[in-house]
Chains A and B, each alone.
Chain A
Amino acid sequence: MNKEEIKNPASDKKVGAVMVVGGGIAGIQASLDLANSGYYVYLVEKSPSIGGVMPQLDKTFPTNDCSMCILSPKLVECGRHFNIEILTNTQVEEVRGEAGNMEVSLIRSPRFVDEDKCVGCGVCAEKCPVKVKDRFNEGLGERKAIYIEYPQAIPLVYQIDRDHCRYFIKGKCRICEKLCKNEAVNFEDTEKRYALKVGSIILAPGFELFDPQLKGEYGYGVYDNVVTSKQFERILSASGPSMGHLERPGDKKEPKKIGFIQCVGSRDLQAGKGYCSSVCCMYAIKEAVVAKEHSGEVEPTIFFMDIRAHGKGFDDYYKRAKEEYGVRFIRCMVSKIVEMPRTKNLRVTYINEEGEPVEEEFDMMVLSGGLTPSEDAGALGKRLGIDLNQYGFCETSQFSPLSTSRAGIFVSGVFQGPKDIPETVAQASGSVACASGLLSESRGSMVKGKEYPLETEVKDISPRIGVFVCHCGINIGGVIDVPQVKGYAESLRDVVYAEEGLYVCSQDFQELMKKAISEHNLNRVVVASCSPRTHEPLFQETLRETGLNKYLFEMANIRDQCSWVHMRQKEDATEKARALVRMAVANARLIQPLEELSLEIKNKALVIGGGLSGMTAALSLADQGYEVYLVEKEAKLGGVLHDVYYTLEGDDVQSHLREIIERVEADPSIHIFKGTMVVDFSGYKGNFETGLMVGPGMFYRKLEHGIVIVATGGEEYKPVGEYMYGEDERVMTQLELEKRISNDTPEFSNVYSIVMIQCVGSRTEERPYCSRVCCSEAIKNSLKLKELNPNMNICILYRDIRSYGLMEEYYTLARKKGVKFIRYDLNSKPGITVKDGALKVDIKDPALGEDLSLSPDLIVLSSAIIPKENDELATLLKVPRTQEGFFLEAHMKLRPVDFGTDGMYVCGLAHSPKLISECISQAYAASARASTILSQERIHVGGVVATVNGDLCAACLTCVRVCPYDVPVINEEGFAEINMAKCQGCGSCASECPAKAIDLQHFRDEQILAKCNALLEEAV
C-alpha cells in the first residue's frame, strides 16, 4: 500500500471519491452508503481503530440492544469493503481546491506496527511488560504499551503507545519485536505526510464527554466512587474491566444505592455550556435500568431538572424505568457530594421538590456528562475554514442542516450538534446524499468490483460440516460451557471440524474460518452464536469468499435464544445449546446450494407524500441523477409546512417552502402527481409496480420503479373537547396562534396575557409519546409575542421542558425575557373555566405546593403531532407501524430510515414527530439509502422461494388460491409455476399443496422434520 502517491484521476471531471473524516458510527454509515452507491471512500480516523464511542457502550436505548453486537456487522463490512480505504492514526491537515475537486493533505502518525504484516494474534501484548491505564475502559482497566483498543477493533492491528513503551522511554526492551513471528513491529516507523484527491468531504469527528473535574463540587477525580456515565457503561459492559460485574471502582464492592446527576456540563452557563446534550436523560435511564437488571438489589436514583425523553419510544422507556424497574426520579440539582472517610460512601446534599434540604448517602454516584465537540474537531474546523458556533459545533442552517459553510464539505453526527445514535446515522446517510448529489456524474469512476471465487460444486458430495461455537465475550461463554458444546459438535455425524472463538464474528476469526473451510474441505458451515438477524449475512459473505454458496450456512442461536434468556440456569442452557447445535447440524446435512437470479433494476424512485420531507427526498434523488415520481394526496405540495411561518432561529419558513416547491415543479426529472392516491402495490426491491388513481380526473396509472420512500407526514392534533378547545375561540393551538401572529400582527398589541399548556394530547394514556417539537414551538411563539409586545404576560404550563440541543439557548432567553414556566403533573392538569366572560386557568404548582389562578386573554394549546391517515397505505405497502400509527423502521438505532422490506424507506413526520431540520436530514438519508439500490445495474433475487415439482402437480389450483401474492399460475404444460422474482418465500403454498409438489427452498419439509427429529432425538 503506497499512500504517499497522489491519486490523480482526469482533472477536468469531478472526483468519484469522498473522504469521510471520523470513524465513529456516523463515519462508518457514511462510508458504507457511499461505497455501496458507487463512490470510493477514504475513511480517515485519528485513533488506531474505527468504531468511535459505540464500542464502549454497553446497551443502547430504547431497545436495550447490545451496542457492540449491532455495530459489529457494520465494522466488519467497513473493514472488508473493497471500496473503503481505512486510514487510521491519520488527521486532515489542509484542504485545497473546490467542491468536486479537492486535494486533502493528511498526516499519519506512526503505529510502529506494520498494518500489512500484523495478524492481530496478540502475543506481543501478552508479553509486553508495561501496563497502561486503558482509555477504552475510561481509565478503569489496564492495557499494555502495545495494544489494540478493543477485541473487535478494525483494523485488527496492534499499535505501540510511544509515551509508555519501555523501549522509547529507556532505550531497551523490544520484547514485542522479538516475539512477533511476522516481523510486524517496526520501531523506525515515522510520521508520514501525503495527499489525496477527492470530490467531497464528510465530517463526522464526533464528540467528547464534558470533563467533570471542571465541576469540583461533585468530587470527580477525588472520590473513588464518583464515576462518569461512560465509566459506568464500561462497568456494566460484559467486556468491561469487571467483566460485567457491577462493582464500584474504589473497593470492588457491589453498590446498592447508585445516584445519577444529570446535566453535568449541559444547560450550564457557568461552565460555558448553554446547550442541552440531548442524550443524557435517556442514557442515564438506560444505565439505571441495566444496573437494575444486573442486580435486583440496586436502587438507582436520577437527579434531574427535566427528563428529556423526546425520541421515538423514549417516554415509554422512561415510564417503564419508573414503574417496572422502580428507578427513583428526583427533580432537583445536587449542590454537593462529600465522601464518607470510612465507608467511601457519598453523602449527597440536595433540595427536594418540597423545597427542603436533604442529605442522603449513596454507594456510588454517576455523573451524566454532556457532549462537547472535541478539541481536535474544533482545530480541524478552523484548518478547513468552516464556521463553528460559540460552543465549537459546526454551524449549519435549519434548511441545510448537513452543509458546512464551505461548499463540498458536509457534516453529520454530534459535531453538528448534540444528538443520539439514530439521528447521527440518519445525518450520516443524509450527508452521503449531499455529496452524491454533487458528484453523481463521477459515480462509479473510481470503484473496484468485487470478484468471488467460482462456487464449489457440492450437490452430490456427502456433507462435511464445520461447526464454530462463539463465546461472544462472556455473553455466551459466561453461561454456556462452550468447550463442552464444541466437543459435542465434534461427536455429531458428518461434523469433520469444530472450533470455538471469543468473538466468531471478528475479522481474525473469519480468516480462521476461511482457512478451516479450505483445509478441511468443509461444504456446510454451522455457527453457534448470537442471532442470524444480525450476523447471518456476515458469515454468508465469508462462505462466498471461500467459494461456497451462501446458503450452505446454518446458525444455531445459542445467545439470544439461549444464554441470554437462561442466564440463571447454566446447566440447562448448556444442555439446550447442545440440542440447538444438534438441530443445526441435522439441518446442515440437508441444505442445498441455491441459485439467485440476476435481474435488471428500474432506476426510478417513487416518493409518497409531497410535504417538506417528500420534496426534499425527491430533489435529492433528482440531484443524484434518478428519475422520481412524487405522489401527493392533496391538490398542492407542501403538506403541514403551509401552517408554519417561522422557525425558533428566526428563518422565514414560507419563503423556503415556496422556493422548494418551485424547484420541485421545475425539475425535469421529477414527475409530480397531485391529488393522487396509491391504490395497488407489488414487487420487490429494484422492481416495484404501483397503481395510482391520478386526480383530478381519477384515471388509473401504473408506475414501475426501483425503490419507495414513504413521507406521508403528520399533522397537529385538534384537541376538541379538551381545555374548552372548539368551545371558546380564545382557546387555540400553537399553529393557529402562529397563523394569527403572522397574518394579523396588530391584534397582539391588545393581548396582555397568554397561558400556554404543554403536552396537550401527548404523553397521555391515549397517546403516550412525546411530540418532541411542542416545547420549542411554545418557546418560539412566546419569543415572537415578546418581540411584538415586551410587556405581554406569558405563562407556559409544562411537565418537562424539552428544548433539547442548541434550542436550550432559546429557553434561557425566554426566561430572561420574562416568560414564566410553571410545572404541572399529569394527575393535576390545569382546569379551565369561563367566569363572567373571562378565561380562568387553575393550576396546582408542585414546586410551591400552592393553587394558582390565572386569567389570560388567550389560551394556547401545545398540541400533539399525529401521523396523517395512513392505515390503507400501510396495508397496501405491507409495512409496519407503531401503536401510535407512525411507520416503524427496520431498526431503531442503526436503520432509522429503512423499512424491514428492502428498497423501502421512511422519513419525516411519518416516522415520528420532529423538527424541520430533522425532517430534512432524514429525507436526505432516505435518498442516500435508496441510491444504494438505484445505483446498481442488477440485483439478485431468488434463493428462499417455492419451487414446483411438475411431475407431482395435479393442477388442483390450491396454491393459486392460497398464495397471498397471487404468484402461482398454471403454465402451458399443465402444472403450477411460481415466479421466483415475485415469490416472497412464506411457504404457505408448500404447506397446503395436497400432492406435496411444492417445496420452499431452504425450508424444505425434509429439513424441518430433520430439525424436529434432532430436537427430540433424546426424548423417546
Chain B
Amino acid sequence: MRLNYPSNVKIIKVPCTGKVDVIHLLQAFERGADGVYIAGCLEGDCHFLRGNLRARKRVEYTKRLLDEIGIGGERLQMYNMSAAQGPRFAEVAREMTERIMTLGPNPIRAKKGEAEMETG
C-alpha cells in the first residue's frame, strides 16, 4: 500500500512477538532508543497461537521496570494488528512517533547530551 509513515521507525524482525525478551527491550533503551514498540498479531489470532499474549505480559512487566528506573513505561508499547491492516500499521507508527516527540529524548541519551531522535 506504500502508506507513508515516519522514517525514524525501524523494524527488527522476529518470528513471533513471543520471541521478544525483556532483555531485548531493556538493552534497546540502555543503548539510547527513545521508544520501542512491538507489533504482534491480533489477540486471539496469533500465528503461533499465544505468543502475543506472552509478549503483552513481558511488555507490561518491562513498562513497570522502566517506570521504576525513571525512563518511563510510556516509551514502550505493545500493539496488535493483522497483516491486512496496512493503514493501522502506518497510524501506529505516527502515533508512537508523536508520543515520543512529546516525551522528548530517552533520559539516558539526554544525559549524554545528544538530541538526535531515534525510535526502534
Contacts and interface: CB of A to CB of B under 8 A. Distances in A.
Interface of A: 64, 293, 532, 557, 561-562, 564-569, 572-573, 575-576, 579-580, 583, 878, 880, 944, 962, 964-965, 984-988, 990-992, 1000, 1003, 1005, 1008-1009, 1011-1013, 1015-1016, 1018-1020
A1018 B116 CA distance: 9
A1019 B114 contact: yes
Contact of B3 (A557, A565, A985, A1018): A565
B21 interface: yes
Contacts of A1011: 12
8 contacts: A583-B10, A962-B54, A987-B18, A988-B18, A991-B18, A991-B54, A1019-B33, A1019-B109
A569 B15 CA distance: 29
Contact of B21 (A561, A964, A1005): A1005
A964 B12 contact: no
A126 B15 CA distance: 46
Given A986-B18, A988-B19, A964 B48 contact: yes
Interface in B9-45: 10-16, 18-21, 23-24, 27-28, 31-33, 45
B102 interface: no
B24 A1016 contact: no
B90 A1016 contact: no
Contact of B4 (A565, A583, A986, A1016): A565
B108 interface: yes
A1012 B28 contact: yes
B31 A1016 contact: yes
Given A557-B11, A986-B19, A1012-B27, A1020 B51 contact: no
Contacts of B45: 880
B58 interface: yes
A198 B70 CA distance: 74
B50 interface: yes
Contacts of B108: 1020
Interface residues of B, number: 42
Interface of B: 1-5, 7-8, 10-16, 18-21, 23-24, 27-28, 31-33, 45-51, 54, 58, 90, 108-109, 112, 114, 116, 118, 120
Contacts of B27: 1009, 1012-1013
Contact of A991 (B3, B19, B28, B32): B19
A1019 B5 contact: no
A1012 B12 contact: yes
Contacts of B50: 964, 988
Nearest to A993: B21
Nearest to A575: B7
A1019 B51 contact: no
A987 B17 CA distance: 9
A1019 B118 contact: yes
Nearest to A580: B10
A573 B14 CA distance: 23
Nearest to B112: A1020
Nearest to A888: B84
Contacts of A561: 10-11
Given A1016-B118, A1018-B116, A567 B4 contact: yes
Contacts of B14: 987, 1003, 1008
B15 A572 contact: no
Given A64-B1, A561-B10, A984-B48, 15 more contacts: A557-B11, A566-B5, A566-B7, A568-B4, A576-B7, A579-B10, A583-B10, A985-B15, A990-B19, A990-B21, A1008-B14, A1008-B24, A1012-B24, A1018-B118, A1019-B114
A221 to B, nearest CB: 34
Interface centre among A557, A575, A962, A987 (most CB of B within 10 A): A987
B100 to A, nearest CB: 13
A990 B55 CA distance: 12
Contacts of B31: 1012-1013, 1016, 1019-1020
Contacts of A944: 15
Contact of A1005 (B8, B23, B48): B23
B51 A988 contact: yes
Nearest to A992: B54
A1015 B12 contact: yes
Nearest to B44: A875
Contact of B20 (A64, A565, A964, A991): A991
A575 B31 CA distance: 19
Contacts of B11: 557, 561
Contacts of B7: 562, 565-566, 569, 572-573, 575-576
A1020 B3 contact: no
Contact of A1015 (B5, B10, B47): B10
A565 B19 contact: no
B19 A1009 contact: no
B2 A293 contact: yes
Contacts of B8: 572
A965 B16 CA distance: 14
Contacts of B33: 1012, 1015-1016, 1019
Contact of B48 (A64, A566, A988, A1013): A988
A965 B24 CA distance: 24
Given A565-B2, A1009-B24, A1019 B19 contact: no
B116 A964 contact: no
A134 B43 CA distance: 51
A1003 B120 contact: no
A987 B54 CA distance: 11
Contacts of B49: 878, 964-965
A458 to B, nearest CB: 22
Nearest to A559: B2
A133 to B, nearest CB: 31
Interface centre among B47, B48, B118 (most CB of A within 10 A): B48
A1019 B114 CA distance: 8
B16 A987 contact: yes
Contacts of B10: 561, 576, 579-580, 583, 1015
A862 to B, nearest CB: 28
Top-3 shortest CB links A-B:
A987-B19, A986-B48, A988-B18
Contacts of B116: 1018-1019
Nearest to B23: A1005
B12 A987 contact: no
A576 to B, nearest CB: 5
Given A572-B7, A1019-B109, A1019-B116, A988 B1 contact: no
B76 to A, nearest CB: 14
B18 A565 contact: no
B15 to A, nearest CB: 5
Contacts of B47: 878, 986
Contact of B120 (A569, A878, A1016): A1016
Given A1016-B31, A1019-B32, A1019-B114, A1003 B15 contact: yes
A1011 B11 CA distance: 10
A293 B2 CA distance: 10
Nearest to A901: B47
